């Protein structure tokens, strides 16, 4: 079978899947994506980090493409009828699934998602998929849609969207759903801040060493929209999660009182690949 014929058949299959998805209504359980994550995301022994078996996902590439086809089939009119939680779960899952698709476009011949860009182009600005009727890149989803002022205003999204890097919060082994979204985001914050490789309090120096994510997106934590959840500022965020960041009551008290020097750790852009991490 020629390459052209294979591509034609794949295109027809995706079109058929998208047509069927439209006829049946969108699956807000994201069951197809959940199944891939449950099989191929390997959680660390601590439970606070994960790695992805990209080799195994690549072997099931057709299943991933079918799920992506259901995302692409959603119209702006459909999206506008959904609840806020349904929209946010959809966008986070879309970002993560299309990121995996981007990695697979060159896998295994890359060490980092940044290898897919260059000095003059960003992998996050590469338009390679359609969403809500428009050609998109990953930055459109994260910054143009999720972080758009007034859209969701939830700083916890930064533990939801995962850029396929070790420095990122863990890719969960389950899909985000509207019913579980709030609990999943809370759980993601706890797990991320409990991972001492990326966030930790150093009692000897009195320094709180945290991910560069809090440097890059600190303003998202300072808007006050989530003050009732403990996210009125970076200071309240770290105080809220003192138990995850520090082991002793004395150290936790210092975090709650703001008695520390804040520093940001270098970001690890290496691919979150289970094959290369012994997973």
Quick: pLDDT tens for 188-237: 999 999 999 999 999 999 999 999 999 999 999 998 788 888 999 999 99
Q: Categorize the per-residue pLDDT at 32 as very low, low, confident or very high, splitting at 50, 70 and 90.
A: very high
pLDDT tens by residue, 107-144: 999 999 999 998 789 999 999 999 999 999 999 999 99
Provide the pLDDT for residue 14.
47
pLDDT above 90: residue 16: no
- pTM of the predicted protein model: 0.90
Q: What end-to-end distance do the CA atoms of the chain give, in Å?
A: 35
Query: Is residue 150 within 8 Å of residue 99, measured between CB atoms?
Result: no
Per-residue confidence (pLDDT) for residue 278, from 0 to 100: 46
Residue 6 clears pLDDT 90, i.e. is over it: no
Q: Would you list the domain boundaries of the chain?
A: 13-197
pLDDT bracket for residue 23 (50, 70, 90) = very low
Residue 20 has pLDDT above 80, yes or no: no
Supply φ then ψ for residue 162, to 5 degrees.
-125, 125
- Specify the pLDDT at position 4: 57
pLDDT band at 2 (very low <50, low <70, confident <90, very high): low
């Amino acid at each position: 079978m020629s390459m052209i014929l294979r591509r034609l058949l794949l295109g027809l299959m995706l079109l058929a899947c998208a047509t069927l998805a439209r006829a049946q209504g969108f699956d807000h359980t994201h069951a197809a994506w959940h199944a891939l994550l449950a099989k191929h995301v390997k959680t660390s022994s601590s439970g606070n980090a994960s790695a992805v078996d990209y080799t195994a996902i690549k072997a099931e590439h057709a299943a991933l493409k079918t799920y992506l086809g259901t995302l692409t089939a959603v119209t702006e009119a459909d999206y506008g009828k959904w609840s806020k939680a349904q929209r946010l779960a959809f966008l986070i899952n879309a970002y993560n699934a299309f990121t995996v698709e981007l990695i697979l476009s060159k896998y295994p011949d890359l060490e980092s998602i940044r290898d897919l860009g260059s000095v003059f182009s960003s992998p996050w600005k590469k338009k390679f998929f359609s969403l809500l009727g428009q050609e998109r890149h990953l930055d459109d989803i994260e910054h143009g849609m999720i972080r758009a002022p007034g859209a969701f205003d939830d700083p916890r999204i930064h533990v939801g969207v995962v850029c396929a890097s070790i420095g990122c919060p863990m890719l969960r082994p389950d899909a985000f759903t509207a019913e579980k979204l709030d609990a999943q985001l809370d759980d993601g914050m706890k797990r991320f801040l409990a991972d001492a490789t990326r966030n930790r309090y150093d009692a000897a120096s009195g320094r709180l060493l945290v991910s560069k994510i809090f440097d890059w997106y600190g303003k998202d934590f300072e808007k006050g929209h989530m003050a009732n959840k403990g996210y009125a500022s970076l200071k309240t965020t770290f105080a809220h999660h003192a138990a995850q960041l520090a082991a002793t009551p004395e150290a936790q008290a210092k975090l709650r009182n703001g008695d520390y020097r804040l520093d940001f750790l270098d970001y690890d852009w290496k691919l979150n690949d289970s094959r290369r991490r012994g997973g």
